Structure 1
Amino acid sequence: MRLLGVRLDSELEARLAAVARTQGRSKSDLAREAVRRYVDLYDEAYRREARRQSLRASKRDVADDYAFWETIEAKDAAWK
């Protein structure tokens, strides 16, 4: 296990200490659980979004992509 130092403002530290006392747990236990939940939530959200985009991209017609970029290049050339 590695050590991670986190700076908390005094109000948040006091609230954390109060919750820890109420639950009979250490502040470290609560902080570890909070970080784990946060990482799990956002890691899973990232994976879902990556899967969604991958599926969407696999269903796209490549010809549409070429047509889009050709239109952009034509507009760009017209500005020059």
Structure 2
Amino acid sequence: MLGVRLDSELEERLAAVARTQGRSKSDIAREAVRRYVDLHDEAYRREARRQSTRASGRDAATDAAFWQDAAAWK
């Protein structure tokens, strides 16, 4: 469970979008957080892959299969 404090303007805007879409504010916030985490988690994996490849002296193609498998671990 997560509680989030929003300023009144953002909460009003969120409520308006929720009404327009016929969804709850929680549904919209959950989707927004999920997208944010997915975006930043993927960026983290790309950077880890880049650093690993660079440190090992291997080329990216060599590690492609490993990183495809690693993406499925989450």
TM-score grouping bracket, smaller chain normalisation: 0.7 to 0.9
Scaled by the length of structure 1, the TM-score of the pair is 0.70
For structure 2, list consecutive stretches of 5 or more residues without a partner in the other structure: 59-74
Whole-Å Cα distance in 1 between the matches of residues 14 and 42 of structure 2? 26
Q: Give the counterpart letter for 1:22 in structure 2.
A: T
- Please show how residues 47-62 of structure 1 align to structure 2 within 5 Å: 47-59=45-57
**1:55-77: CA deviation from partner (whole Å, max 9, x where unpaired):** 011118xxxxxxxxxxxxxxxxx
Scaled by the length of structure 2, the TM-score of the pair is 0.76
Larger RCO: 1 or 2 (CA < 8 Å, sep 6+): 2
- Counterpart residue number, 1:66: none
Q: How many correspondences in the alignment? A: 58
Q: Percent identity?
A: 90
RMSD, matched Cα: 1.1
Larger Rg: 1
For the residue of structure 2 that corresponds to 1:17, the secondary structure is helix
